[in-house]
Amino acid sequence: MTTTVPTVRVAAVQAAPVFLDLAASIEKLDVLTAEAASQGAELVAFGECFLAGFPIWNGVLPPIDQHELHQRLVESSITVPGPHADQLGQIAARHGVVLSVGVNERAEHSLGQVFNANLIFDTHGQLVNHRRKLVATWYERLTWSHGDAHDLRPVDLDGWRLGALICGENTNTLARYTLLAQGERLHVATYPPSWPFDRRQDHPDYDLEDSIRIRSAAHSFEGKVYSVVAATTLDDQAVTAVAQGDGDLEKLLRSTPTASLIVGPRGETIAGPLVGAEGTLYADVDLAEEIALKQAHDIVGTYQRLDLFELTVDTSRPHPITIADRHGATPDQDRETTTLPQEALDV
């Protein structure tokens, strides 16, 4: 056949970052990527905000008690482009893998704006996809700004057609459809280490593992794609830093363990789930599987009524300011902001 539809060996890495320590977390990512590459992995996926920590304190501490943790998160965030993004590209190139990793991304123009982002680097170390989470979920809005639909698209990568969504985006029907309608074949879904939801004893807590499984199966089954689901974990260092000796908070933080898994195009789990503990899941996925399955049910093709339904997506990336002279020229219009000296950005 003329269309390249390869088989890909994928790895979903479930690990805890070194809590709010960017340099140490990048070092850990390098070691884990090398380990996955040694097992033949071509795609290595890390969880939501692996660099360098998910703001789980938003769910269990009052906002007035969060300032120190928030400052540490901002100090351990990265700018994209920037030296730490370059370092991640070098890791991908050195190990010869496609690398997907969640990061806390600091806006270049302001220390007050942080995005929940996912970066994908190809085997040459080039940044080929830069997503910002569309909507911070519930208490996450204390930390992250809303993102945008820039790079809400699959990357070809010699026929992989790799797309990525972050946590709750995997419940956003239109976001999922946007990727599938652009030809997604292989999907990365990233998740946090825990999700405390309700401390009332007479109400069931949020079952994070089951929620991840349901979302992953739904996307894979509807789109006839493989999903590589990677979460971070919550280690003792993070629990101690957030709970600060409060036993009830420790219990809340540990009450909803995360899960990673790899899902096939029939919605079936083909690796995992790995619940709570650190580890890496592997699978060889044949992307040609979708062909026969889509003969029956192709929601972006034969099974869609393109004459009746239409979706328009704005993929622009908003800028805080446009610089123009009085004659209407817009110098440096491709830049997001005016350039600030590096010392103004260092924290």
Q: Could you give the residue numbers annotated as active site?
A: 48, 133, 167
Going by their DSSP bridges, the two strands 269-275 and 279-286 should be labelled as unpaired
**Contact present, 228 and 187 (Cβ < 8 Å):** yes
Matching residue, tokens 């219990």: 251
- Asked whether the bond before 204 is cis by omega within 30 degrees of 0, the reply is no
For residue 64, give both structure tokens: 């007035």
- List residues bridging with 188 in a β-sheet: 164, 228
Helix (H, G, I), strand (E, B) or coil at 114: strand
Single-letter amino acid, residue 162: L
CA 207 to CA 301: how far, in whole Å? Answer: 34
Sequence-separated (6 or more) residues with CB below 8 Å from residue 345: 79, 106, 108, 111
> And the tokens for 144?
């992250």
Q: Is the separation of the CB atoms in 18 and 24 below 8 Å? A: yes
Are 330 and 319 in contact by the 8 Å Cβ rule? The answer is no
Q: Which letter does DSSP use for residue 167 in this model?
A: G
**9/95 Cα distance (integer angstroms):** 14
Q: Which phi and psi angles does 282 have, rounded to 5°?
A: -130, 150
| Euclidean distance between CA atoms 125 and 107, whole angstroms | 22
Q: What are the φ and ψ backbone dihedral angles of 270, each rounded to 5 degrees?
A: -110, -10
The half-sphere exposure of 316 on its side-chain side, counting CA atoms within 13 A, is 7
Give the three-state DSSP class for 178. helix
Q: DSSP for 327-346? A: TS--TTTTSSS----HHHH-
